[in-house]
Each structure stands twice: as C-alpha cells, then as structure tokens.
Chain A
Amino acid sequence: MTRYLARRLGFLALTLLLTSLLVFVVTQLLPGDPASIILGREAGPAALAQLRAELGLDRPVPVQYGRWLGRFVSGDWGESYGTGQQIRPLVTERLGNSLRLAGLTLAVAIPLALLLGVIAAVNAERWPDALISVGSLAVVGLPEFVTGLVLIQLFSFQLGWLPANASVAPGAAFVSVLPQLILPAATATLVMLAYVARLTRASVLEELNRPYVRTAVLKGIGQRRVLTRHVLGNALLPAITVIAISFGWLISGLIVVENVFNYPGLGRLLTFAIDRRDLPLMQAITLVAVTAFALANLIADLLYALLDPRIRLG
C-alpha cells in the first residue's frame, strides 16, 4: 500500500509539472505579446522593450518557465494585467465559491446517479431501465446553457420559487446563499447525471453476471441482501473512478453554468480573464483547476485501493 501511495504521488507531481509546462507554453509563447496587450496598440517600441524586460520576457524561454513556476509554487501568483489586483486572494475566493457549488452538485448528483444506475441495472430491459436510459440521454444531449435557461424560465420566471441570479456577496454564509445555489447546482447535476448513471448501470449489470452472485444466491441469501452486500460493493468500486473523471466534466460545466447564472466562481473569473487577455490570471485559474482535478483523481485512486483488497494487500 505504501508503495502504491508513493507511486500515485509521483504520478501526481509529474502530471502537475507537465500541465504547468503546457499552460505556460500555450499562454506565454503563442502569438500575442503580453507587453503590447498591457500597454495597448499605440505603445512605443521603447516602452514595450522596457516592459518586456520588467516582465522578464527578454530572457530565454526555459528561464522564463523556471522563474514563473518558482514564483507560482512559492505563492506569488503575480498581478492581474487587467485590474492590477493580486491574483492569489482573488482566485482563492472564487475557488471557494466554485467548490461550494461543485460540492453541492456532487452531493446531489452522485447519490442520485448511483441510485438511478442501480435501479436501471436491476430492472434491466424493463420499463424503469428504459425510462432512465431515455431520460438521461435526453438530458445529456442538451447543452448546459439550454438546461440552465429552461430551469430559470420555469422556476424563476414562471413559478417564482427560486432566484435566477446567483451573484452572492463575498463571505456570505452557506445557508444564506443556498437558495441561489439550487438552480446552478441542478443544472450542473443534470450534466453529470446521465454519464455516471449509465456507467453505474453497466458496472452493476456486469457484476450481476459474475459467478459469485450465483454462489450467494445459492446460499439462500435474500435478493436485496445479495444486491447490497455483494454486488454493490464490487460494482461501485469502478464508479469511484468514473466519478473522479466526471469531476472534469463538472469543472468545464461550471464555466458555462456560472456564466448563465452570473455566479462569482472560478469559471466566470476565467471567462473574464479570457475576455481581457489577462494571461497571469488565466494561468493561475487553469493551474488551480487542473490541480483540483488531479487531486480528485488521486483521492479516487486511493479510495479504490483502500476498498479493493487485491490492491490493498497485493
């Protein structure tokens, strides 16, 4: 197990290093000179050269990368080109908001998706299965902004039950912003639901056909108990990995959802940064998002290993 943990941590470090390189290359080296973006088109060559020197853009590329990474790791994420604000407090605050929304989404979506998947598998080829399959396919076919707008139309404008705008004040307590979170979380839930539910169904069906299930049934164990004590434990193991991967979907889904609902999260901050071509901000947000995704996968792998004796003891 220690060996496994060490290997996973090594992989994590390597992934993050590669991502940082990718982010750096994409944002820093592609056409579009940061100095001219900051100073505007009318800036003179002297001013540009001076700013380039200040930003270190005249140094060799590996040096630039090394300095950039070193500063990032030590917590100095720089200033936003657009607003001149310190990036780190800005990003961490928005990250908190996004995690709140993501957490709520996961808390609803995962149990619901697993439940639907299990119901579909147990009733395979019968009407509950068909209903869940068709329903989840229909939902997954719709883009987030459509789902979001439909929900707003229905629950805010028609019924008036929930606010359409989710712009929360900084530092507001979770309970007080909960009503505003419901619609964005519901939209994001619908995005994930179909994927996780379908994979859960496949996984449960596969386990149901394994010989150990027959062994359990022939011991005279009740149907429900065979499902809960034998099948689910093994079927939901792969679901852990699926959930971690779908976390990636959630991150990209949140970018759209936050914009639709005007929610002050990392996703909306990223659109803002892209609009302004605010390179340091984009870099910071991307790296934070990738780290969150990688950490989610690490946790999933560790959880998997902890629950599967073949890895834990092997």
Chain B
Amino acid sequence: MSVLRPPAASRDGLDVRGLSVAYGRGPDSVAAVRDVDLHVPPGSTVGLVGESGSGKTTLALAVLRALPAGARIGPGRVTLDGDDVLAMQPEELRAYWRTRVALVPQDPLPSMNPSHPVGRQLAESLQPDRPGQADRDEIDDMLDSVGIGDPRRIRRSYPFELSGGQQQRVMIAMALLGRPELLVMDEPTSNLDVTTEAAILELVRERVRGTGTAVLYVSHSLAVVASLCDQVVVLYAGELVERAPVEPLYRQPLHPYTIGLLDSVPRIGRSKRQAPLRPIPGRIPSAAERPAGCIFAARCPAVEDACRAQRPGMDAAGEDHAVACRRWQEIVAGTIDARQPAPPSFHDDDGADTVVLRAERIDKRFTVRRSVVDRLLRRPGSEVHALRRVDLQLRHGRTLGLVGESGSGKSTFARAVVGLEPADAGRFTFLGDPLDRRVERRSRDQVRRLQMVFQSSDEALSPQRSVGATLRRALVRLAGTDRSAAGEAVATLLESVALTPDYAERRPGELSGGEKQRVAIARAFASGAEAILFDESVSGLDVSVQAAVLNLLDRLQREHDASYLFISHDLAVVAHLADDVAVLYLGQVMESGPAGHVLARPYHPYTEALLAAVPRPDPSAGPAREPLAGELPDPRQVAAGCPFATRCPRVLGPVCHEQAPPQQLSADGDHRIRCHIEPAELERLQAPLMGEEPG
C-alpha cells in the first residue's frame, strides 16, 4: 500500500518462533503461552482459535509488544518482515506501533478515549503527535470505505454516541488509516449482533484481505474463522495443537482437541435429533497444573500411556498442515476413533401437543422518564413499545426457541412470563389455569412450576451461600421437601447435572462458568419446575462446555418431561435444541413455527436475513449472502407499518411502511408470519438455505 513498502511477495510477514509468555516472577510465574510457532504471510489471514484460557489474546498482544505490566515475553522470536520485534528499543518500538502494526480490540467503546471526538482519535492514526494536521479528506474516505455513511457527522461525535457496529467500524478505520503491515483483530465481532457481525466480517473480507496486510484474527468461534481465514492455528492451554489451511482443517481435523471442538459446535440444519453434540469432558488445565506429557491427555478419547510420558512436537501431516499428536497417522487411517463418545439419543416425535404455557397478545411499554424541565417545557415523553401483542405457545415436553437481536424484546418477554416485570396487557395461561401478570398474585404452586435460569448465574446464586444450601433452600421452600430428606435430594440433584456430591460444600466463587450454570439448572429443577425459561443461559460458555450443558438440558427435559422456553441470540444453538422457534424483531413475532421448517426454509424476509448472517463452521459454505443493510432503528421511533420495513430487502412499497402487516399462515401450516407478502409468494422467493430437510 505504502509507496516505500516493498511488494508483498518480497516480504516475510509475521513470524513467531518458539515463543513463550509468562505472568508473574520467580517460582509463582506461570506460562500463559508455551513454545508457539506461527507464520502470517503478507496478504493472508490467519485465525487463532481457542477457548478461554488458551492464551490466544496473550499471544496476540505479545506480537504487538502490548502486553500488560507483569507479563514476560520469552524465550522465543518474533519478527515482522525480518525485523526482530522483541529486541526493539523504545524509539524503534514507537515507530513499530506507529507505522507497522495495528489492533482492532474486542470492545470498541472502552478502547476509545471517552472525552475526545472520534475524528481526533482517527486523526492520531495518521499524525500521532499532530492530529490537527491530519488530512481530513483521507479520514472521510476511510470512514466511507468502512461503511460509515455520514463521515463528517461521525467525526464530530463522541464514542458513546455511536452504535456498537459504528464503534467497531471506527476502530477498524483507525487501524487501517495507519496502513499496517500486520493487523491484529482480537474477537472484533464477539459482542455484536449477528447481522452486525456479518456486516463487519464482510468489511474485513473486502477492505483488509488482498491489500498485502498480514492479518492475525483471534476468535473463539470456529464458524467465524471458517468464513474468514486462509489458515487456522488452534491453541489449547497455551500450546499449539494444530495448524492447517482452513479447508483441510475443517474437512479432516487431526488433533483430538480440534475434532472435539468441531463436534461441540451446534450447527443450523443439524438439530439434536440428527446430530447430538459430543462435548469434551473435563476442563482446560490451568497454567499452574499443566502435565509433563501431552497437554490434552486428560481429556483425550485416544489417549495411551505414551501420550502422558512425553510432550508431542509439531509433526508435518501434509502441506502446511501440522499437528501436535503422536497418533495422528492412526487418526488419518481411521484405525482409532478420536471423537468423543456421543450421548445416548432417543427422541420421539409423537409427543402430545398439549400447550403448557400460552401467551396471548402480550404487550409491554417502557416510558423513558420525563424530568421536571421536560414537563415544564411540555416535551413529550418517549416510549419504547417493547412487546407488541406477542402470541406464543409452549408445548408440553418441548423446547420453544426465541431468537432475535439485542433490543428485540426477548428478555423482556421472559421477564414478563415469570412476572418480574409484569406485562401491561395480554393474558398468560399456564397448565390450563390463568396466570396473573404479576408474580405476587401467582400461587406458590405456579411460581414453583415456572422457573427461570439467567445468563449469568451470579444473578441467581448467592455468593455467600454454599451450593448445597442454595439447593436445599429451593427444595424445602418451594418443593416442600422434608428437611431431613433434603441432604440426599441435594446429592441426587447434583448427580443429575453431572456434578459430584462434594460440590454441595462449595461456594459459587469456587466454580467455573459451566459449573455455576449447572448449579443454576439444578436449582430450577429442585423446585419441581415443569416449565423453565432459559435467558441466554449458555451464551457465556466456551463451546466445549456449552455442548455439555446443551446435552444436559436435553437429557433433563426427557427425564422430567419438562418444557423449555429457550432464549438466545445464537441461532445455531436454538436450531440445535429447539422444537419450535419464534423470531422476534422490535417486540413483534415476525415468524414462528416448527424449528426444522422455520430455520430451514424461512418465509419471513427478516428470518431469512438473520439466517444468512450466521457464520457457518464450514469453509465450503462460502461467505454469507449480502449482509442486512442498516442497523436496528431507534426503538422509540418505530413507524406504524412493519417494523422491519426500513431494512427489508423485499419491501413492497409504501404499504410496508404505513400498514401493520397481517398475520398469515403458510399453506402447510408450518409458518406463521407477519408480512404483507403472500406466503405462497414467499415460499417461491426463498431458496432453501441449506440442503438438508428436517428429519
């Protein structure tokens, strides 16, 4: 890009050799990254994949020399186009940062100075010490090219005034303005909605790839990496376990950990009935408790004694394909099975169609409070119509998945169902009886039978109370279990969520995220709940842990004949678990029906767009279709017509903006949609998104 820079072919890009990074000093020092090799050629994108604790962010920051105080780099070598990065002295380092590298971080908002306008911060990428002299046209061109429509206004805005998607676009613009040879992106889309994520990934594909910049893309998501990268590097507990070009890695993963990760990822088009998830048992060893032999041995299905004796080195298994496993040849040959065992699966389709929980015309508005001054000046209060006449049915023993982007009203609906934030209008029926909108007016029995599991179990578990005490309390107070029998009941409950009885003595602070979530689930079942609401309950978990929790939920549902309302922004998770699905947009159900139909052949344009945006853990799936234009409109200013009209690619004309769309049923009765377009026409328009038909 730069005039002075030699062409990409003659450069070497980023090269990392035998790099270790440790935190702390002396005997307490722990290695976060051990002996890692990595190469990112100019113009290529390398994905760095791993679960939390894998050291991926530490490695990325080490390459930038941007580690926090307390971290020690070395031994090892890091070179960029042959220049030794670790040997750079302060002035050289400043030049390295200024002209050669850039970082796009996970959280854009805290990564910008809150009290400087965005324009000044962008200008610093061009003129670090003289932002006033930066070329504004160049900044505007860059903002325009990262998809910001009104660069001059955005330049004058402060970071907090921008939406999450705009913030990340600005961060990308900031990084690209410095024309880096190496761009490190650390989970840049992890906190964004799926449609925004798709737009940002498209932006990276268009603007970054092919410019000669070497990109190191850090992600926990195999799906994102598959859709974006040329090469993938898999890290486990600070060590490199497999490195390969994207296509062979996904087609034939060689390391049992990579195999396990891919088997843990829920996919759209493969429900729990078709392909159960195969979670990786156990947990990632902490930096202090790493074994002498293979780091994955404790969780590996193909482990043998020799694996524990010596740490395997990286073996070349093919062109550009390297793996740190002694038994990869046997895995290739198929003589051993390196997959985790599949859980027993017995799904029946003949479940009764009794409705457990019915929600009819549920309505909820939030008024933004008016101050005294507003009242004096007679300014109108603004109002958010969070739920608009939501109709939903939860069938007995089934899972209803509720999907939508942030701000769609998913959580508001869940809170209205359990009565925490009562609905303004509408009617709930639970097990045949009316269910009052307010929790105080519900019978103890109704409360007991309708439970909720939150995203963060910290909300539900008291940090001072031991796990056993929490469960006993639920057993005694809600389920009416006798105090003397409670101890045994606690042990049974813990066992049912695959925790050992000694967990009863622990406090939430001593548990991992997955374990806490298991306790929260056990607590919901302790009261003898028949319907359970899960609000993003698996969203914060690593993929291997998430798979185990999803399987657990499935098993408990069958054992207890429970019904689930499962809320998630992650369509793949919902596609895996749900029997029925409802798609929410700005408080309205746009489409609902059996999950296998709605998520395989969506009728509603919004469902279609949402599904198209989901990255697939399969490089052959190709990039997603044209991402949805625009962003979620301000919920206070939703027009009278269809809420999706402002972004809909199939908008008919003024009718969509002016009239509320009618509720329509497809000919087969499987899709209930809210759209002006005829179902038959929609059926014709929607090409199937995936080959498989629901089984």
The interface of chain A, by Cβ under 8 A from chain B, is 2-3, 6-7, 10, 209-212, 214-222, 225, 230, 233-234, 237, 307-310, 313-314
Contact = CB atoms under 8 A, between A and B. Distances in A.
Interface stretch (B90-98, B531-539, B663-671): B90-98
B234 to A, nearest CB: 26
Contacts of A308: 114-115
A220 B94 contact: yes
B432 interface: no
A309 B158 contact: yes
13 contacts: A7-B373, A10-B372, A211-B110, A215-B112, A215-B174, A219-B97, A221-B129, A222-B94, A225-B129, A234-B115, A309-B158, A309-B160, A313-B158
A262 B180 CA distance: 67
Given A211-B110, A234-B114, A218 B161 contact: no
A74 to B, nearest CB: 27
B125 interface: yes
Nearest to A314: B160
B114 A218 contact: no
Contact of B111 (A212, A225, A234): A212
Contacts of A219: 97-98, 124-125, 128, 174, 178
Contact of B372 (A6, A214, A220, A237): A6
Interface stretch (B44-52, B101-109, B240-248, B481-489): B101-109
Nearest to B161: A313
Interface in B578-602: none
B465 to A, nearest CB: 32
Contacts of B111: 211-212, 214-215
A260 to B, nearest CB: 42
Interface in B118-140: 121, 124-125, 128-129
B387 to A, nearest CB: 27
Closest 4 CB pairs between A and B?
Answer: A220-B98, A220-B97, A221-B128, A211-B111
A222 B128 contact: yes
A313 B158 CA distance: 9
A212 B110 contact: yes
B173 interface: no
A10 B128 CA distance: 44
A211 B110 CA distance: 6
Contacts of B446: none
B368 to A, nearest CB: 13
A308 B121 CA distance: 16
A224 to B, nearest CB: 10
A221 B372 contact: no
Interface in B197-221: none
Interface of B: 64, 66, 68, 94-99, 101-103, 105, 107, 110-117, 121, 124-125, 128-129, 158, 160-161, 174, 178, 371-374
Nearest to B376: A6
Contacts of B113: 212, 215-216, 230, 233-234
Contacts of B105: 211, 214-215
Contact of A309 (B64, B94, B115): B115
Contacts of A218: 64, 66, 97, 101-103
Contacts of A221: 124, 128-129
- Most chain B CB neighbours (cut-off 10 Å) among A10, A217, A234: A217
Given A217-B66, A219-B97, A219-B98, A6 B373 contact: yes
Contacts of B107: 211
A236 to B, nearest CB: 11
B103 A215 contact: yes
Nearest to A7: B371
Contacts of A217: 66, 97
Given A212-B114, A215-B103, A310-B158, A222 B129 contact: yes
Contacts of A6: 372-373
A219 B174 CA distance: 9
Contact of A220 (B95, B161, B174): B95
Given A215-B112, A219-B124, A3 B374 contact: yes
A214 B111 CA distance: 8
Nearest to B113: A212
A220 B112 contact: no
B371 A3 contact: yes
A214 B374 CA distance: 40
A19 B624 CA distance: 66
- Most chain A CB neighbours (cut-off 10 Å) among B94, B99, B113: B113
A216 B124 contact: yes
A212 B110 CA distance: 6
Contacts of B94: 220, 222
B409 to A, nearest CB: 24
- Most chain B CB neighbours (cut-off 10 Å) among A10, A218, A222, A313: A218
Contacts of A209: 68
A314 to B, nearest CB: 8
Contacts of A233: 113, 115-116
A10 B376 CA distance: 14
A87 B173 CA distance: 66
Contacts of B160: 309-310, 314
Contacts of A222: 94, 128-129
- Most chain B CB neighbours (cut-off 10 Å) among A6, A210, A216, A220: A220
A217 B66 CA distance: 9
A214 to B, nearest CB: 6
A214 B103 CA distance: 9
Contacts of A212: 110-114
B174 to A, nearest CB: 8
Nearest to B371: A3
Nearest to B175: A218
A220 B99 contact: yes
Contacts of B68: 209
B353 to A, nearest CB: 50
Contacts of A210: 110
B456 to A, nearest CB: 22
A55 B409 CA distance: 66
A218 B66 CA distance: 8
Contact of B114 (A2, A214, A310): A310
Nearest to B112: A212
Nearest to B100: A220
- Most chain B CB neighbours (cut-off 10 Å) among A211, A215, A222, A308: A215
Given A6-B372, A214-B103, A218-B66, 9 more contacts: A6-B373, A214-B105, A215-B121, A215-B174, A216-B113, A217-B66, A230-B116, A237-B115, A309-B115
A226 to B, nearest CB: 9
A106 B64 CA distance: 44
B114 A309 contact: yes
B365 to A, nearest CB: 23
Contacts of A3: 371, 373-374
A2 B107 CA distance: 32
Contacts of A216: 113, 124
Nearest to A307: B115
A308 B124 CA distance: 21
Contacts of B97: 217-220
Contacts of A7: 371-373
A54 B372 CA distance: 43
A27 B374 CA distance: 40
Contacts of A2: 373
Contacts of B116: 230, 233
Nearest to B64: A218
Contacts of B66: 214, 217-218
A221 B129 CA distance: 6
A211 B95 CA distance: 20
- Most chain B CB neighbours (cut-off 10 Å) among A215, A219, A222: A219
Nearest to A124: B69
B214 to A, nearest CB: 16
Contact of B128 (A220, A237, A313, A314): A220
A233 to B, nearest CB: 5
A242 B582 CA distance: 52
B63 to A, nearest CB: 12
A308 B110 CA distance: 15
